Amino acid sequence: MSFHLLRAVFILLSGVAGSYLFPDRRVMGIIGGFGVSCAVVAIELFSSKIPAKKLIIAVAGLLVGLLTSILVANFVLLLPTDAGNEKLVRIGLYFIFAYLGIMVSIRGIEELGFEIPYLTSMKRRDEKLVVIDTSVLIDGRIYDLIRSGFLDYTIIIPKFVIQELHELSDCSSDMKRQRGRRGLDILNQLKNDEGVDLKVYDVDFPGVDAVDAKLVKLSSQIGAKILTNDFNLSKVAEVQNVKVLNLNNLATLMRPRLMSGEEITLKIVKEGKESGQGIGYLEDGTMVVVENASHHIGRLIEIVIDSAIQTTTGRIIFAKMKG
């Protein structure tokens, strides 16, 4: 039997029930039965769009709120009150605490997920989660990457990462203070953008001191990946079977590949480590080492690509002067 048929039967039976409840005004009873049943079906259809775990948490919050309102009402009504006012007080408290119970429980679903295994398992099945570390927020490219639609994940920002940014922003070092403030600015952009699915987790691990270790432990608990620029964090996470998305690796892969023998124009900006070498940079920041170009510092020269190597910090291109 389909859902549509069940709904139709429910509405029909509600109309019949309405006619029996009001035998003196059967027409009004039938209309009332149809109206109430249609409202119930509308609520049911609306609730089908809400994730099941949120409905479960909302119902639990409603029950807790109603129980709390009964206890509070019994306490408040110990004071002498008129019978009419007593009903108003009870109804008011029921509505207030029912609303608070639902809203507080839904907002706290992430924190509850750490304590209730069933909710945690549902989160792992239903959501694609990625935990953002401090280096990615300071980098700033994460915002454009999310807005472009290439990162289709729910973004998780732990409170201990935010705390680390605040500590950096209050640091005595100008460079660290600037990095911390930049990270906080990017975080505020993500929070204020309604198109970004971002959740802040108020969670900490008192027995763990290092932020990197906390990130790995949190990601392991909730079945999330880690998005980072930190090479060491990537290695630690991989050892503990936590998947890592390295933003620097992505940027390297997206850089245009220069083929051996290709000719380009490059500005030499400084001397290299070896005698006679000149150093220049492509627009994407890739370093180019040019042989016998140290005497051309500050000039644009024609070069020929020779080879390239991949390092942990990026790609380095080796070239020679044309001609």
Question: Does residue 60 sit in the same domain as residue 151?
Answer: no
**Residue 114, domain member (yes or no):** no
DSSP tag of 23 = G
pLDDT of residue 76: 80
Q: Which stretch of DSSP H or E encloses residue 305?
A: strand 300-311
Q: Domain tally for the chain?
A: 4
Residue 113 belongs to some domain of the structure: no
| Element of type H or E holding 228 | strand 225-228
**Cβ proximity of 142 and 134 under 8 Å:** no
State the pLDDT at residue 119: 47
Give Cα 8 distance to the centre of its chain: 40
**No. of helices (H) and no. of strands (E), the chain:** 13, 10
Per-position pLDDT tens, the chain of length 323: 467 788 788 888 888 887 887 777 888 888 888 888 888 888 777 776 666 667 777 788 888 888 988 888 888 877 776 666 777 778 888 888 888 887 777 666 555 444 444 444 444 445 688 998 898 899 888 888 888 877 788 889 998 999 999 999 998 888 888 989 999 999 999 888 888 888 888 888 878 888 889 999 888 888 889 998 888 888 888 888 889 888 877 776 666 667 788 889 999 999 998 889 999 998 777 899 999 999 999 999 999 999 888 776 677 899 999 87
Q: What is the pTM of this model?
A: 0.47
Angle at 130 between CA 125 and CA 132, to 5 degrees: 160
Domain match, 137 and 199 both: yes
Q: Which of 107, 134, 151 is the last residue of a domain?
A: 107
SS3 for 154-222 is EEEEEHHHHHHHHHHHCCCCHHHHHHHHHHHHHHHHHHHCCCCCEEEECCCCCCCCCHHHHHHHHHHHH
Range of 80's domain? 50-107
119: which 2 tokens? Answer: 């909710």
**Is 1 among the domain residues?**
yes
Same domain, yes or no: 125 and 76: no
Q: Is 115 within a domain?
A: no
Same domain, 236 and 302: no
Q: How far apart are CA 160 and CA 137, in angstroms?
A: 13
- Residue 140 and residue 101 share a domain: no
Integer angstrom CA distances of residue 125 from 171, 251, 292, 303: 41, 29, 58, 53
pLDDT given for residue 279 in this prediction: 95
- On whether both 124 and 242 belong to a single domain, the answer is yes
Query: What's the pLDDT at 309?
Result: 84
pLDDT value for 27: 83
